[in-house]
Amino acid sequence: MTVRRYLIAGNWKMHCRRDDGAALAADLAARVGPVADKRFDLLVCPPATIITTVAQAVSGNAVSVGGQDCHAQAQGAHTGDIAAEMLADAGAGWVIVGHSERRTNHGESSAVIKGKAAAALRAGLNAIVCVGETEAERDAGNAEAVVAAQLIGSIPDGATAANTVIAYEPVWAIGTGRTPTLADIAAMHAMIRARLAGLVTDPDAVRILYGGSVKPSNAAEILDLADVDGALVGGASLKADDFWAIAQACP
């Protein structure tokens, strides 16, 4: 049986300046210490402007740092964009691509996200590729078809369990306090695992995170599900006590 370490990832979104970002990161670093927990890896994804600050704050401790988006190109005339290589240069080892706030607010297609994920791998970053259905898509009975299509369209060549993580994030559960039933999460993660077979060489080893209103009170039951290998956490990742409690809920 393949053993997958849990990954607890915090998406800080457009929150934190240098001072509070460094304080939050240092708080987490002090809790983890230099040796990773037996059960989980810890990752924080602050705004790009403070990646270096946060990387310095966690230096020497088992906390990884990631960006929240990257451009597909390594350089060029792309005003406001950030190359994956630049994230790596700033101190990141990871990047989130295809978050629903990018898909929706910036009109990013799965083809665009695939280019970004490929760029992450080119730059030596690990990619977290996000997928998830809207409420209307779920109500119409299309949730699994939508997520499968996003998955197939977004995973780049060369993706493996070592460099790519999938995050299933139902759009309607992000920041709303609502979550799917445990049965629905389990069914979607099983479908994703099955679909990965045609997309990566080591599908059983790929970590599949659940994201969408994860908090200390629901983390244990979600993390206990088969094929849930961690969590992508938004709001609750901004409080060290809550983020740490979620990590401690790993079985």
Q: Which residues bind ligand PEP (CB under 6 A)?
A: 11, 169, 174-175, 211-214, 232-236
Question: Residues 170, 212: contact at Cβ < 8 Å?
Answer: yes
Structure tokens belonging to residue 146: 């939508």
Instruction: Using DSSP bridges, classify how beta strands 126-131 and 94-97 pair: parallel, antiparallel or unpaired.
Output: parallel
CA pair distance 65, 195, nearest whole angstrom: 28
Smallest distance from the beta carbon of 191 to ligand PEP, in angstroms? 19
Query: What is the spatial distance between Cα 222 and Cα 13, in angstroms, rounded to a whole number?
Result: 22
Q: Cα dist. 93→52, 67, 97, 143, 200 in Å?
A: 11, 8, 13, 31, 21
221 assigned to active site: no
Q: Which residues pair with 210 in a beta bridge?
A: 168, 231
Work out how close the CB of 236 gets to ligand PEP at its nearest, in angstroms, rounded to a whole number: 6
Residue 99 annotated to the active site: yes
- Choosing from 71, 85, 99, 137, the catalytic residue is 99
Half-sphere exposure of 232 (CA within 13 A, CB side): 34
Bridge partners of 246, per DSSP, are: none
Which tokens belong to 77?
A: 């005339």
d(Cα 102, Cα 104) in Å, to the nearest integer? Answer: 5
| Residue reference for tokens 């995050």 | 167
195 vs 215, beta carbon nearer ligand PEP: 215
Q: Give whichever of 50 and 61 is closer to ligand PEP, judged by the CB atom.
A: 50
Catalytic hit among 101, 108, 144, 169: 169
Separation between Cα atoms, residue 132 and residue 246, nearest integer Å: 21
- Using CA atoms, how far apart are residues 102 and 71, in angstroms rounded to an integer? 12
Active site amino acids:
99, 169
